[in-house]
Amino acid sequence: MGTKTQSETGYTPFVPSILQEPDIKVSKVPVGHAYIPADTVIAVRLENELSSKKAHKNDIIPMKTVDNIIINDVVVIPAGTEVHAFVVGARKNGLFGRSGKLEFSVDSVKTINNVTIPLEYIGEKKAGNDGGAIAVAAVVSVVGGLFMKGKNISFPAGTTFDAKVVADTDLKVSLDDLASAMDPNKPHGVSITLK
């Protein structure tokens, strides 16, 4: 008869909050660098209709940022920047009043200097069904319920959603050089020097 572990007994000792470890978040951004803070909310807009009737898993969803994202008076992500988003799961409506289902993910957006900013948003919306109509149809005829269809999910073009930045994200530039690095007239990308 050995001693029982904490998980076997279900007993959890009380530890006063003053003795508990604080939940400290440590930023990985180098001191003096510009960054976009975690939990910054970025509004994104659908460019085309998104519907459970037409969507398929892994479809790319055309979305763009709604507003400029500005750090220290410098635009780092202009309004209208493409956002990486895709369908995670979709199901059309069906018989027996089965509603459509649509899940999608908003993953990232890039800054002017080509830094990928990780975003977090998983959207899921299930269309309702008319439970009363199904109940009435079931009383009238079991076969009648076979022909009732649920609703598809549909978001019209222009619908906006909020996504948030997952973690403090280093913009790979010092605060002093931020304006120069984010100059939209300055070429950004892979630089090749030929001799």
Distance of CA 14 to the CA centre of its chain: 37
Spatial separation of the C-alpha atoms in residues 112 and 125, rounded to whole Å: 33
Calpha distance 145→95 (Å, rounded): 8
Identify the structural domains of the chain with CATH numbers, from first to last.
Answer: 29-176 (2.40.128.260)
- Could you read off the pLDDT tens digit of each residue along the chain, which spans 195 residues? 555 555 555 555 555 555 555 555 566 888 989 999 999 999 999 999 988 888 888 999 999 999 999 999 999 999 999 999 988 887 776 555 556 778 888 999 999 999 999 998 755 444 433 333 333 333 333 444 444 556 777 889 999 989 999 999 999 999 999 998 898 887 766 667 788
Its sign, for the CA torsion 43, 88, 90, 60, is: positive
